[in-house]
Amino acid sequence: MSMHKPLSALILAVLFGVVSALVQSPKLGKLISESDIKQWDIAILPDGTNLPPGSGTSAQGAQIYAEKCVACHADGGKGGASPGAGPLVGGAPLTNGIDTLKTIGNYYAYATTVFDYIRRAMPFNTPRSLTDNEVYALTAYILSLNKLINDNDVMDAKTLPQVKMPNRDNYIIAYPDRI
């Protein structure tokens, strides 16, 4: 990886047909600080990196769900109350076939993905409107519906990455040489 700079110059020259590798980048990027990027910096990594402060429980999540989620995802996360809203619970074993419906219960590898996706994309018509505590609570509710945590477990930056998802280790990296 220490070869990035010479490598990129070489690629510029060879692949992109730039006349001379000496062509300088105009360097027009404007300096910005990480603190000014903070509101956008929402990606959560599977080891829990970037999880925000806050916490929530399944019971708290159930109340928020009834208010903001049930219209599309239906009672108990069964899904189907709106055309695009799939189930949040259940899921057949993946040995049932290559077209088995993928769910949080049978397919997700990391619980952090649930938090990340709710926080960035839900509710569908008002994304980014939930507080971090609400996102923790909804994540706890959905994980407990799937019996992946106990009803009273508190989800926060420390506990969420420790939730073991059933499909975590059941994978093959398709192109390891491309990573």
Partner 1 sequence: MTNSKRVGRTPSQEPVAGNGLINRRVLLGHGIAIAGAMSTAGNITGAAAEPLKDPEWSLQFGSTLPPVQIASPYEKHVVRSLSNPNGEFRNSHARTPHHLLGGTITPNGLHFSIDHSGVPNIDPAKHKLVIHGMVRQPLEFTLETLSRYPLVTRINFLECAGNSAPMFSKEPLQVTAQAIHGLVSNAEWSGVPLSVLLDEAGIDPSAKWLIAEGADAHFLDRSVPVKKAYDDALVAIYQNGEHLMPGNGYPMRLLLPGYQGNMNVKFLRRIKVVDQPAMSMFETKTYSQILPGGKTWRFHFLMEVKSFITYPSFGHSLKEPGFYAISGVAYSGTGRIAKVMVSADGGKSWGEAALQGPVHEKAFTRFVMPWRWDGQPAILQSRAWDEAGNVQPLRAEFVAARGEASNPVTTPLVFPNQHYNSLTSWGVDSKGEIKHVYA
Site for partner 1, rule CB under 8 A: 1-2, 4-5, 7-8, 11-12, 15-16, 18, 23, 25-34, 37, 40-47, 49, 82-85, 93-100, 102, 107-110, 112-113, 116-117, 120-121, 124-125, 127-128, 167, 170-175, 178-179
Cα 166 from Cα 156, distance rounded (Å): 20
| Residue 82 or 152 with smaller CB distance to partner 1 | 82
Minimum CB distance to partner 1, residue 57 (Å): 23
Cα 159 from Cα 58, distance rounded (Å): 13
Distances (CA, A) of 96 to 36, 74, 91, 93: 48, 25, 10, 6
Cα 102 from Cα 104, distance rounded (Å): 7
Phi and psi for 154 in degrees, rounded to 5?
A: -95, 130
Minimum CB distance to partner 1, residue 152 (Å): 27
| Residue 11 or 59 with smaller CB distance to partner 1 | 11
Chain centre distance of CA 5: 31
Q: Assign 157 to helix, strand or coil.
A: coil
Minimum CB distance to partner 1, residue 148 (Å): 15
Minimum CB distance to partner 1, residue 104 (Å): 8
| Residue 45 or 66 with smaller CB distance to partner 1 | 45
| Residue 17 or 53 with smaller CB distance to partner 1 | 17
